A and B are shown apart, each in its own frame.
Chain A
Amino acid sequence: MASKRIAQADRTRCVSCGACMQECPREAICVWKGCFAVVDCALCVGCGMCMRICPADCITLVQREAQA
């Protein structure tokens, strides 16, 4: 069953350092061409590990339905 919440990165504030990518246990987040982090909704389980490591504090957990 899919998780209720998933991670979402604020692209305007993401510094594309890749800390989230290193942290993610599911390899559900990657840095798109050095511009910003992108979450794979199908893989993300909303554990929040990326949110807690992000140096720019730009990742939040959102309701799966409410994702932009």
Chain B
Amino acid sequence: MKAKQKHWYNYLWIWTIVYFLLGFFNILFAWLGMIDFLLPLCLAIFGGNKWFCNHLCGRSQLFTVLGKKLGCSRQRPAPRWLSSKWFRYAFLIFFLTMFGNILWQTYLVFGGAASLREVVKLFWTFRVPWGWAYTAGTVPDWAAQFSFGFYSLMLTSTLIGLIVMALFRPRTWCGFCPMGSMTQLICKAKQHGKIPQEIQ
């Protein structure tokens, strides 16, 4: 059997590790996570595909490397409800609400109604002091506030992904990943009623 050809994008799991490491040194690097947020949406809206999930997602590659190659996963099927439609969409709505909250906090800091909080909030609950990764005044406070919020969201979702990776299959997170749900919804809307006969 011939080995599959490796591409540069097969190593994007390294990017995921680098992203989180950068956030330990300077929280402003969190803005780079917007690539992972906007690129899948652009590919789905303009390309009508999930090329990001299928090939470019560093996070899913990291779960595969850790879970499959390094054996950190029990490799058991996840409960069905975890990838059921209602859970996926409920999680998507929850996730978008939390993202909206980040934008709201950023707006409050921008308008001067709130002050910058140099904390990373894990699982939307636990505040972890993160002041070492930011020198006050480097950028406008609102830009730093967004960094802290967005980094919290990225770190929390990766931690959830790692937990379900360990408990179930390596890519269990993909079953309810909000970006995956959103891009699949877009793709399905674009292809509505257009499934060709040969694959029906």
A21, A22, A35, A52: the one within 8 Å of B184 (CB): A35
Interface mask (A8-46 → B, CB under 8 Å = 1, otherwise 0): 000001011111011001010001111100100000000
Closest B residue to A26 using CB positions: B1
B153 CB within 8 Å of chain A: no
A-side interface residues, number (CB < 8 Å): 23
Secondary structure call for the B interface: helix
Q: How far is the CA of A27 from the CA of B169 in the complex (A)?
A: 21
Interface size on B, residues (CB 8 A): 41
CA separation between A32 and B54, bound complex, in Å? 11
Q: Cβ of B174 and Cβ of A32 under 8 Å apart?
A: no
When distances are taken between beta carbons in the complex, the residues of chain A under 8 Å from B33 are none
Is B173 engaged at the interface, CB distance under 8 Å to the other chain?
A: yes
A61 to B63, CA, bound (A): 25
The residue on A at minimum CB distance from B194 is: A33
6 A-B contact pairs sorted by A residue (CB < 8 Å) = A16-B50, A19-B174, A32-B195, A34-B50, A34-B191, A52-B75
CB contact under 8 A between A17 and B175, given known A55-B169, A56-B83, A57-B77: yes
